[in-house]
A and B are shown apart, each in its own frame.
Chain A
Amino acid sequence: MYEAQRIPVLKIDENLITSIQIELSDRMVVQLQKDILEKIKKTGAKGLLIDVSSLDIIDSFIARSVINIARTSKYLDAATVVTGISPEIALTLLQMGF
């Protein structure tokens, strides 16, 4: 399997910032999860900002992955903030039982 396209994870001061600007494939989500955790470990970042404002869909796989990233980051002592969830996506996730 070829390597998944990567989403950049930037470090600014003590924080990591990632903004998802392209259509996500499942492979990319898995890769992003790995990249973020490795970078937290390497840099000792205390905060993580995930911007999803460009996404027009967050299904259960993506939602669960973001939740997993936030949970695991907490174990590594970094707090996660997710920004840019549109009202439609919020309602869709709620309706699905999240």
Chain B
Amino acid sequence: MIRMDIEDEDDINKARRRVRGFLSENGIDRYPLLRSYMLTIVSELARNIYLYAKPGKVNVSMIDEGKKRGIKLEFIDHGPGLDLEKMKKEELGKNGLGLGLTGSKSLSDEFSMDSSPGRGTHITCIKWIK
């Protein structure tokens, strides 16, 4: 498992680099599409933390569930949080924040977001190795 802090702009690149190394060590280079999805999600959501809710954390780990093996990405911040009901009404994806979020959701097999105004945001993305 790796843990990274996101505080300034360079941390977005650092996160991408460390996740590259992590995926490599765990044999994910054999799955180029999965690798691309994972790196892209990290880039999108680390940037969202930097732009809207810094400082925050990114955790990346390998997970096992029965016979399934997967990668779990977590993005945690204590920023302004999101009003999920309001965002649903306004349709995610209309602004910069939404594009990274909806994009990351589409790239994940399992996606969950826990957030409310003033309480920060916790996003979990899981991708199973097929």
Whether a CB of chain A sits under 8 angstroms from the CB of B1 is no
Q: What class of interface size applies to chain B in its complex with A?
A: 20 to 34
Chain A neighbourhood of B10, CB < 8 A: 25
Contacts of B9 in A (CB 8 A): 25-27
Which residues of A56-73 are within 8 A (CB) of B?
56-61, 64
State the majority secondary structure of interface residues on A: helix
The answer to whether the Cβ of A92 comes within 8 Å of any Cβ in the partner chain is: yes
Q: Are A23 and B40 in contact (CB under 8 A)?
A: no
CB–CB B33/A57 < 8 A = no
Assuming the contacts A26-B47, A57-B40, asked whether A88 and B35 have C-beta atoms less than 8 A apart, the reply is yes
Option from A25, A88, A95 in Cβ contact (under 8 Å) with B13? A25
A59-B36 CB under 8 A given contacts A25-B12, A96-B106, A96-B107 = no
Nearest CB in chain A to that of B102: its residue: A97
Q: What residue in chain B is nearest A24 (Cβ atoms)?
A: B13
Q: B-side interface residues toward A, CB under 8 Å?
A: 9-10, 12-13, 16-17, 20, 32-33, 35-37, 39-40, 43-44, 47, 93, 99-100, 102-103, 106-107
Residue contacts A-B, CB under 8 angstroms, 8 given: A23-B16, A27-B9, A56-B20, A58-B40, A59-B103, A60-B103, A86-B32, A95-B106
Give A residues with C-beta under 8 Å from B.
23, 25-27, 56-61, 64, 86, 88-89, 91-92, 95-97
